[in-house]
Amino acid sequence: MMGLCFGSVNAYAAADKDIVDTAVAAGQFKTLAAALGAAGLVDTLKGKGPFTVFAPTDAAFAKLPAGTIDTLLKPENKGALTAILTYHVVAGKVPAATVVKLTEAKTVNGASVTVKVVGGTVMINDAQVTTADIMTSNGVIHVIDTVLMPPKM
């Protein structure tokens, strides 16, 4: 079973942890965890939910232009950071079997992401879902390889 997850997250063991604890335990979402803390969203994503999170890995954040993350983590940029992070969250629990039937999904940010399947690969805007259906106690995580930017940014 570990091979299916490529060592990223033990999907079968995550269901007893919330979204934040699951992401932290995975070890590949350090930047996301820091950003959630800076934006004051940790308690929300530890809450009842359910939520669906399209979670960018540390490698996804590393693809942003140099200095972007440091700038966003500054207190004066909390609004922009919150807008970006909430663009990665959909209210409700949306497993992959449902995601692939959608053409778009409205995010907590208020803007929608586009959903398409290209050659068996699920794309959320320009981000590829690399691991789907990591079930948590308060929702589901789908791992993506690119940070999603809201249309107003």
- Which sequence spans correspond to the domains of the chain? 12-144
Predicted confidence at residue 5, as pLDDT, reads 33
Residue % of the chain over a pLDDT of 70? 90
Note the CATH architecture for domain 12-144.
Roll (2.30)
> Residue 11: is its pLDDT beyond 80?
no
Tokens found for residue 96? 């992959």
- Find how far residue 74's CA is from the centre of its chain: 21
Full-model pTM: 0.89
pLDDT of 127-144, one tens digit each? 999 999 999 999 999 999
Among 109, 38, 108, CA closest to 70: 38
How far apart, in whole angstroms, are the C-alpha atoms of residue 91 and residue 44?
Answer: 12
Among 33, 31, 32, 40, CA closest to 77: 40
> Residue 99: is its pLDDT beyond 80?
yes
Confidence of residue 54 (pLDDT cuts 50, 70, 90): very high
pLDDT of 36-48, one tens digit each? 999 999 999 999 9
Task: Please compute the mean of the pLDDT values over residues 69-91 and round it to a whole number.
Answer: 96
How far apart, in whole angstroms, are the C-alpha atoms of residue 92 and residue 101?
Answer: 16
Predicted confidence at residue 6, as pLDDT, reads 32
